[in-house]
Chain A
Amino acid sequence: MIYYITAILLILIGMYAVLTKKNIIKIVIGLSIVDSGVNLLLISIGYIKNGTAPIFSVKGLTPDKMVDPVPQALVLTAIVIGLGVTAVALSLVIRLYDHHKTLNIDKIRKLKW
């Protein structure tokens, strides 16, 4: 329960940063926070009360007491993808700063639709 609420709060905080912050680095940070929130949500969906890690490292562990391994595997992939997106975003920030000498998005916006 509390995990769902926390995770969704994280997503909302990240989105708030993306929507209102002027500094593009803060926007990228906002994107990362959204990612973390989504990952936390995904992990908490697979949780089982009093469950153990899904690893048969010691004898006597039974599958019945283990948490769902699938969300963990998915989160691993999602984290790596989030990392890739963040890396590309930061390189674009470096480029933008180079051209405009500022990180303020209001001064950068030239293309409008």
Chain B
Amino acid sequence: MRKATAIIILALVGYYFLSVFLTVPFGEKRNNVGQYYLHNTVRETGAVNSVTAIVVSYRGFDTLGEVTVLFIASLGLGAILFDKKGKKRRLQHASLIVRVGAHMLYPLIVLLGAYVFVHGHLTPGGGFQGGAIIATGVLLMFISYRSFETSHKALTYIESIAGMTFVLTGLSGLIWGNSFLQNVLPLGEPGRLISAGIIPIIYIAIGFKVGAELTGLLDNMLKTIKSD
């Protein structure tokens, strides 16, 4: 009964959704701010990847908020699961093949993550993606080695320092330029690794922060597995 009601209501909602979205033509070019960004990114920000330019430069304030959301999530997780900390977790041994494989892959995954966030302004990718890749490497280690531990102190420091770097980079724009997050460095030659002003700095900080935060999240959740 309940399911039938849900299906009927959702069908009506879905029909209405679709009828509205069909008024938006699919796959056509529209005159919008996106076109402005495409035509001016390279000149104004020095970044080749215009998505990165939007995320870090044009809409950098959003990204600051986004980093904060992740920060709050890890804070909230820590607060909600607070007294669960310190319990030893007990996972099954992974097989030898998995352990050896994980051991070999782990540095490569971290390296790939670092590559992705360092080249955020040149290739697809960036701080969030790179950080997430690094966290998957740590996750691999967590499931293969039951004794694998991360240092909480180090994670806290990385998180905090990376976050403060972001805000301070923003404030430097307020001090030496006219506005928060304004680029105060030379743009360089587009396409080079060292170019695009403050974008690489911010993306590297984000990469560290996201990597540390996601690792912290995983660690917090794993700690809740009970020992017997």
Residues of A within 8 A of B (CB): 1, 3-5, 8-9, 11-12, 15-16, 19-20, 41, 44-49, 53-57, 63, 66, 68-73, 76-77, 79-81, 83-85, 87-88, 90-92, 94-95
Contact B51 A48 (CB under 8 A): no
- Interface of B, secondary structure class, is helix
Q: In the bound complex, how far is the Cα of B37 from the Cα of A47, in angstroms?
A: 15
Q: In the bound complex, how far is the Cα of B27 from the Cα of A84, in angstroms?
A: 31
Minimum distance in angstroms from A61 CB to a CB of chain B? 10
Given A55-B48, A56-B190, is A44 in contact with B26 using a C-beta cutoff of 8 Å? Answer: yes
Mark the stretch among B10-18, B93-101, B102-110 that contacts chain A: B10-18
Contact A49 B27 (CB under 8 A): yes
Number of A-B contacts (CB under 8 A): 137
18 extra A-B contacts, CB within 8 A, seeds A20-B3, A80-B128, A84-B69 = A5-B18, A12-B10, A15-B13, A20-B6, A44-B26, A55-B50, A63-B35, A68-B35, A70-B37, A76-B55, A76-B66, A76-B128, A81-B69, A84-B72, A87-B76, A87-B217, A91-B80, A94-B80
Given A55-B124, A63-B39, A68-B32, is A20 in contact with B2 using a C-beta cutoff of 8 Å? Answer: yes
Minimum distance in angstroms from B135 CB to a CB of chain A? 11
- Interface of A, secondary structure class, is helix
Minimum distance in angstroms from B162 CB to a CB of chain A? 15
Q: In the bound complex, how far is the Cα of B29 from the Cα of A45, in angstroms?
A: 10
Which residues of the partner chain B approach A79 to less than 8 Å between Cβ atoms?
Answer: 128
Contact A88 B73 (CB under 8 A): yes
Contact A55 B49 (CB under 8 A): yes
Q: In the bound complex, how far is the Cα of B42 from the Cα of A57, in angstroms?
A: 11
Which residues of the partner chain B approach A85 to less than 8 Å between Cβ atoms?
Answer: 73
- Tell me if B189 counts as interface (CB < 8 A to partner A): no
Minimum distance in angstroms from B189 CB to a CB of chain A? 13
Which residues of the partner chain A approach B33 to less than 8 Å between Cβ atoms?
Answer: 70
Contact B54 A69 (CB under 8 A): yes
Query: Which B44-98 residues have C-beta < 8 A from chain A?
Result: 48-51, 54-55, 59, 62-63, 65-66, 69-70, 72-74, 76-77, 80-81, 84
Please tell me which one of the listed residues B37, B49, B59, B81 contacts residue A94 in the complex, with CB atoms under 8 A apart: B81
- Tell me if B38 counts as interface (CB < 8 A to partner A): yes
Which residues of the partner chain A approach B32 to less than 8 Å between Cβ atoms?
Answer: 68, 70
- 23 A-B interface contacts by CB (under 8 A): A4-B21, A5-B18, A9-B14, A11-B14, A16-B7, A55-B50, A57-B123, A66-B50, A68-B34, A69-B34, A69-B37, A69-B54, A76-B51, A83-B70, A85-B73, A87-B76, A87-B217, A88-B76, A90-B221, A91-B76, A91-B77, A94-B81, A95-B81
Residues of B within 8 A of A (CB): 2-3, 6-7, 10-11, 13-14, 17-18, 21-22, 24, 26-30, 32-35, 37-39, 41-42, 48-51, 54-55, 59, 62-63, 65-66, 69-70, 72-74, 76-77, 80-81, 84, 122-124, 126, 128, 190-191, 217, 220-221, 224
